[in-house]
Amino acid sequence: MSDEQAVGFVGSFHVAHIGLQHRAGLRAGDVLLVLGGAGRTGSAAIQVGKALGATVIATARSKDKAQFCEAQGADLVVDLDDPSTASAIDELTGGHGVDVVYDTVGGEAYTKATTVLASPGARVLLVGFASGSPASPDGQDLLLRDYSVIGTLSSFRNDTERSGTLEALSAMLAAGQIDPPVSSVHAFKDVPDAMARRATDALGQTVVKVASPEHT
């Protein structure tokens, strides 16, 4: 990897692998729904999900973000606010629904994602809340439809999980199955502008260089 790719690798691909492999037990043939697929962690989850053999659906709200998700390997890109989304997922999965949700968005997106879960046995990974509102799991819905909601942070992994993730991601890199996407690189003085653009047009990973190589 380049330095720019490596700088955010732990915070994106490690989180994705810990969640998908160790927490959700994603298996080849499963259907994975990634909420916020164009973001740094979401795009990592698309790539890792495909490497693990899943059919991957991603959510995006613009044409550029949808195309970016497709470039990461998503089999289908949807907008949860579109009334046709449920039928599109139904058609792709043959009526089975989604086995695993990787939620980086929270709020309303989480609630809408639970309506397309396979039942029983689906798993929902809570990774973040880019919407500004955390997910609000409904205990009665969990009980009656028999799915699980799991918090996911790589900082809680044990030594066995850490070693397994390092080995798995190294193998995926060597095989060309994953390729961390860096959308832009900025000088430190441009951080305010970079953050402003990131807030509205987040694609993959944005990198800030604190100093130029000749000054490090």
CATH classification at residue 38:
3.40.50.720
How many separate domains does the chain show?
Answer: 2
Instruction: Check whether residue 114 and residue 206 sit in a common domain.
Output: no
Instruction: Check whether residue 126 and residue 189 sit in a common domain.
Output: no
Cα radius of gyration (the chain): 17
Query: Which residues 6+ apart lie within 8 Å of 4 measured at CB?
Result: 182, 185, 205, 207
Q: Give me the domain span that covers residue 156.
A: 3-160+164-174
Instruction: Check whether residue 123 and residue 211 sit in a common domain.
Output: no
pTM of the model: 0.92
Instruction: Check whether residue 15 and residue 120 sit in a common domain.
Output: yes
Find out whether 56 and 40 touch, Cβ atoms under 8 Å: no
Find out whether 122 and 149 touch, Cβ atoms under 8 Å: no
Instruction: Check whether residue 139 and residue 209 sit in a common domain.
Output: no
Residues of the chain with pLDDT under 70: 199-200, 212-216
pLDDT digits (tens, 9 = 90+) for 143-160: 999 999 999 987 788 899
Instruction: Check whether residue 26 and residue 104 sit in a common domain.
Output: yes
Instruction: Check whether residue 147 and residue 197 sit in a common domain.
Output: no
For the chain, percent of residues with pLDDT exceeding 90:
78
Q: How many CB atoms within 10 Å of residue 196? A: 10
